[in-house]
Amino acid sequence: MSSKKNEIKKLPRQVRNQISAGEVVKRPASVVKELIENSIDAGADKISVEITEGGREKIMVRDNGIGIPSDKIEEAFERYTTSKIREIDDIHSLETLGFRGEALASIASVSRLKIKSRYQSEKKGTIIKFAGGEKKERKTAGLPVGTEIEVRDLFFNTPARFKHLKKSATEAKQVSRRITAEALAYPEINFSYENDGSERMKTPGDGNLKSVIFHLFGEEIYSELIKVNSSSKILELSGFIAGPKVTRSSRRYEFFFINRRPAINGNLRKGVESGYSEYLNKGKYPLVFLNISINPILTDFNVHPNKKKIKFSRGQEIREIIAGEIEEALKNYEGTKTDINQK
Ligand code: ADP
Ligand code: MG
């Protein structure tokens, strides 16, 4: 081996950011997720997303949150810079979605990124352009309060990652699913989504989950919704499930929000499906939109940087509670239906 290879050296900042980008930024949908979460953390009640070519060409997320102070924007694009935690223990009492301070640095390092932001107490906004994480341009401009981030040419400088992108339609589907989940998790936020110039989704932002479901999925599902609302020793369950008349042949319509984060968890899935077991044929899955609020001590969101899969302690117990509640809700619902029929 050449002596050069053996030499231990700290990697340049750009390379470090690109490596960590591999964890955070897998595809357009993960960029959308990170940017939306930042917008939510910034207190936005209006978030617009636009993509072209499945996000391979362009991803834009605009919000009306508090914005970033002009002299803090560059800092926000450094790794491990965050306004959200100060010490490790803060992770356990987190009220924000972000905390790693990695997203902006990572995304910028593998794209051409333009940020426009105006902080709430400042008169003017700032526009900064980055390419591969390097600052290219900075100017002041008249802007509304809030932040707009445009990401172009994702992975233009990391060919190995670029190669793994799927065709535009597939990427767009993932993006759409992500926005759907966020819109369901935050009924008080007005989401809109445009793909290749045409509007695909819009939610009213009136704080009503049922009306979000109506706007996203239409009358058929809306009219079959059953309200769920219960609390037990370790968790509170709220939201809607669809009556067993409407089913799907995949799990894509099983939505779970744990302390308001869209999440995937085996115990929740199995609990729901066992609650429905009397009603569903093999290969059919229910539609559920369920908020679980639970003591964060019982959850571990930190299993992976993209925070989609979560782990529970006392998972078995949680699974049984969910199964029981679903079964109960369906039983009552079937009961009211027979009452009506008998009248
Ligand atoms: P994290 O969200 O983990 O803190 P990010 O890299 O996603 O890390 O963002 C870094 C910082 O930039 C945030 O802590 C926040 O202060 C600021 N920021 C990012 N996006 C926005 C936004 N849309 N509105 C206001 N501030 C933002
Ligand atoms: Mg973030």
CA atoms within 13 A on the CB side of 252: 10
With a 6 Å cutoff on the Cβ, whether 17 touches ligand 1 is no
**Which among 202, 233, 254 is the end of a domain?**
202
Q: Which domain holds residue 79?
A: 11-202
How does pLDDT run along the chain (343 residues), one tens digit per residue? 555 667 888 888 777 777 776 777 899 999 999 999 999 999 999 999 999 999 999 999 999 999 999 999 999 998 776 776 667 776 666 667 766 678 999 999 999 999 999 999 999 999 999 999 999 999 999 999 999 999 999 999 999 899 999 999 999 999 999 999 999 999 999 999 999 999 999 999 999 999 999 999 999 999 999 999 999 888 999 999 999 999 999 999 999 999 888 888 899 999 999 999 999 998 999 999 999 998 877 777 665 555 567 778 888 999 999 999 999 999 988 767 655 544 4
CA of 289 to the centre of ligand 1 (A): 28
Residues 198 and 85 in one domain: yes
63 lines ligand 1 (CB under 6 A): yes
With a 6 A CB cut-off, is 39 part of the ligand 1 pocket? yes
Q: Rounded CA gap, 81 and 173, in Å?
A: 31
State the closest ligand 1 atom to the C-alpha of 85, by its place in the atom list counted from 1.
4
Let me know whether 30 and 171 are in one domain: yes
**Ligand 1 pocket, mutate which of 38, 77, 85 (most atoms under 8 A from CB):** 38
Q: Are residues 191 and 246 in the same domain?
A: no
CA distance 111 to 284: 40
- Please tell me whether residues 245 and 314 are part of one structural domain: yes
Structural domains of the chain, count = 2
* Distance from the alpha carbon of residue 1 to the mean position of ligand 1, in angstroms: 43
What value of ipTM does the predicted structure carry? 0.99
Judge whether 107 lies within some domain. Answer: yes
Token output for 38: 């930042």
Instruction: State how far the Cα of 129 lies from the Cα of 222, in Å rounded to an integer.
Output: 43
**Same-domain check for residues 58 and 101:** yes
Residue 56 is encoded by which pair of tokens? 């391979």
User: Does the residue 4 lie in any domain?
Assistant: no
Please check whether residue 28 lies inside any domain of the structure: yes
Q: Which atom number of ligand 1 is nearest to the Cα of residue 146?
A: 24
Beta strands in the chain (DSSP E): 46-52, 58-63, 112-118, 125-131, 134-141, 146-152, 190-195, 198-202, 225-231, 235-242, 254-258, 261-262, 288-294, 299-300, 311-312
Q: Which of 202, 228, 247 lies at the terminal end of a domain, its last residue?
A: 202
What number does the ligand 1 atom closest to the CA of 81 have? 10
Confirm whether 306 is domain-assigned.
yes
For residues 179 and 227, state if they share a domain.
Answer: no
* Residue 8 backbone class (left: φ over 0; alpha: ψ -120 to 50; beta: rest): beta
Residue 194 sits in the same domain as residue 108: yes
The answer to the question of residue 132 being in a domain is yes
Q: Report the predicted TM-score, pTM, of the whole model to 2 decimal places.
A: 0.89
